[in-house]
Amino acid sequence: MSKLTLTSTVKLSSGYELPLVGLGVYKNDDCVPACLAALKHGYRHIDSARMYKNEEQVGDAVRESGVPREEVFVTSKVNNPEHGYEPALAAIDDSLKKFGFDYIDLILIHSPLSDKERRLQTWRALLEAKKQGKVRTIGVSNYGPRHLEEIREAGLETPSVNQVELHPLCQQKEIVEYCGKHGIVVEAYSPLIRGQWTDKIVEIAKKYNKDPAQFLVRWSLQRGFVTLPKSSQPARVVSNVDVYDFEISEEDVAAINALDKGKDGAITWNPVDAP
């Protein structure tokens, strides 16, 4: 494995580079301090969504940070009630306005919670927004293999990214395998398990003189996922990525891999089996 750093990236099928660590801003009503702390520390990736209602703040933080816009990879997501061709296009225009950006780096369909027809209409809208230069890369979130297959069977371009709940207790093996086969990068949300750490995680983290959050970020990176740790506290935003001075042994990675409970280990909505 080449040496990981906070600036490490993965090349997406769209040709753009995605930083392997991003700041999640879900349920953060005032995310400017967290975003500023992240950008100052060296993060170059922020994961927002229309549902989070903080795109405006993310845009403000990027401008206030002094980091050139083109150096920050910003994601948003089209919300479930906005599925459909015209609603999704309108949503993307609205997001551009809220961010105050000329383009968005990555737009995802937030979840499969509509139906096959509307999911495909929404995907066609994302393809159109990409063609128009409003969006650079497009992908999905919370999609199971069946939802991804709908896109393939319709003969449409494969998503570059699938963002799912992913941590040691819920490892989404079937989804990870499908994405690996089809060149889809997997992003892990809730990588810190919202603080619901098992004794085994705490015990192994201690062995490396790391707190469980740092240990879980490192596990996620070593497993080859793009990881999206979330905190509203600037100090935690910084400490969560103090993960580049150690490597988890194969034996300990295997011990953590063994904690998987499949879907029973999910701690969020995890709608990957939606009809």
Q: Give the chain's radius of gyration (CA, Å).
A: 18
Q: Is residue 43 annotated as part of the catalytic site, yes or no? A: no
User: 3-class SS at 139?
Assistant: strand
Element spanning 140, H or E: strand 135-141
- CA angle centred on 165, ends 229 and 36, rounded to 5°: 25
User: 3-class SS at 2?
Assistant: coil
CA distances from 225 to 138, 144, 187 (A): 17, 16, 6
Q: Which of 177, 190, 275, 184 is nearest to 231 (CA)?
A: 190
Indicate which residue of 43, 52, 143, 178 is catalytic. 52
Euclidean distance between CA atoms 158 and 4, whole angstroms: 27
> 31: which residues sit within 8 A by CB, 6+ positions away?
25, 48, 54, 57, 58, 61, 232
Tell me the helices (H) and strands (E) count for the chain, helix number first.
10, 10
Active site amino acids: 52
